[in-house]
Amino acid sequence: MNRSLIVATLLLAMSPGMSYAQNGAFEQDLDREIDQISAARTNPQAAYAQTAPAGATIAPQGSTNGQPIYILNQATPTSTAQVQQAQVQKQPQVEIIGSPVAKSRAEQIRDARQQAEVETENRIVEKLEQSRIEDEKRRASMLFGGAFEQQSAPQPVQQVVPVQAAPVAVAAPVVVDNSLKEETVRSVVREELQTAMKKPEPTIPIETRYFGAIVGIGDYPDVKNVRGNYALGASFGNIYDNSMVVEGTFLYSDYTVADFQTNPFDPYCNCYGPKMIDVHQYSGSMAVKYMFLDGLIRPIAGGLVQYSYRTYGWSKDNFGYPVKSDEVNSHAIDVGVVAGADIAFNNRFSLGFDFRYMWNVASRVNSQPYWFTQYPYFGTPMEKLQYYTMSLVGRVNF
């Protein structure tokens, strides 16, 4: 009996991972071992089969002293399969179905526009390159006399005798990033297109305004009894691009008609006529002139349209006889030419000579009845005559 207790104690000491914290549990295990030893004496095989723990291997009975040997911690195929099955997690099958992305109308139009831009840029690049090739050919033909075309023409192929050459190491191919080159070409094309599509901005003409004072004299070259006394006036105008002149002028001229009538008494109207008549002429004109050359002296030429208002008056005593003092007036539209030259002393002041020659286009005379019997009888009315005005003009720019 003591021997059995010693064997049971040794077996408990050999079992790993077993600890006994309480005396009651130890006593229960001890009793169980004693029962197993007793049963082993009666039927050793049955006792070993019942008491062998799961996963243990029982050694044969022929061991020393007839005691079984237990080999613990041996994993069985069933336990290994259970562990592997525990490690594999089976998830439910989920089907993900996505609808195809449909582009909006705006995206489709944008893609079409981008494609059209790419095609247009490609065509422009082709045209530009072709034009540059043609220009180079023309330049080469002018410089070398067709040598460029001879060089570019295909040469006859000569048969070459194959020569055994030493093997040459093949260099690694150089990869060229065509995307950067294409992007550079596109940027250049865009700049050229923008430059070509830009409308040239209209140049604003340089405008200079001026005021002029006029002093001169007028004359009627076709008659001898009309004498010019003086002429005074003023002008205002604009100079565009330092060449084109648009000018408005007001001019007052004073004339005297002498020897109007040699005999003061006219039997046709039973009245006396004047011997001398004073003529006051008020003219307003619009002229367009062009200034030639640049420098100190600048010639000027142009044309003008003028409206003239004339008044005729005389004294009450001519030839010692009383004469009726009535006034006569007239209206006339004239056209003419203007010529002259300016001497520019500085950018602000200039002095010039102005010559204007006029022809009548239309006229109307308002007078008393006896004027019609006297005035047309002796010659052509002044409104129908040609005349000119010579004057000096001082101009101030501002």
- Dihedral pair phi/psi, residue 299, rounded to 5°: -65, 150
What CA–CA distance (Å, rounded) separates 118 from 110?
A: 12
Name the pLDDT band for 395 (thresholds 50, 70, 90). very high
Mean pLDDT of 292-318: 86
Mean pLDDT of 168-187: 59
Q: What is the pLDDT of residue 114?
A: 93
What is the tens place of the pLDDT at every residue in 249-296? 999 999 988 765 555 566 665 666 667 788 899 999 999 999 998 888
Among candidate residues 356, 357, 374, the one with its CA nearest the CA of residue 365: 374
pLDDT of residue 370: 45
Q: How far is residue 390 CA from its own chain's centroid?
A: 54
Nearest of 273, 272, 207 to residue 241 by alpha carbon: 207
The CA-CA-CA angle for residues 259, 263, 267, to 5°, reads 135
Looking at residue 62, what is its pLDDT? 45
Phi, psi angle pair for 387, to nearest 5°: -155, 165
**pLDDT tens digit string along 116-127?**
999 999 999 999
> All domains of the chain, ordered by start, with CATH?
2-75 (no CATH), 207-397 (2.40.160.20)
| Strand, helix or coil for residue 154 | coil
Between 188 and 99, the more confident residue is 188
Token reading at 380: 């052509």
Alpha helices in the chain (DSSP H): 2-14, 23-42, 44-51, 77-87, 105-144, 147-152, 178-197, 369-378
Q: For residue 226, is pLDDT > 50? A: yes
**pTM attached to this predicted model:** 0.47
- In this prediction, residue 313 has a pLDDT band, given cuts at 50, 70 and 90, of confident
Average pLDDT, the chain: 75
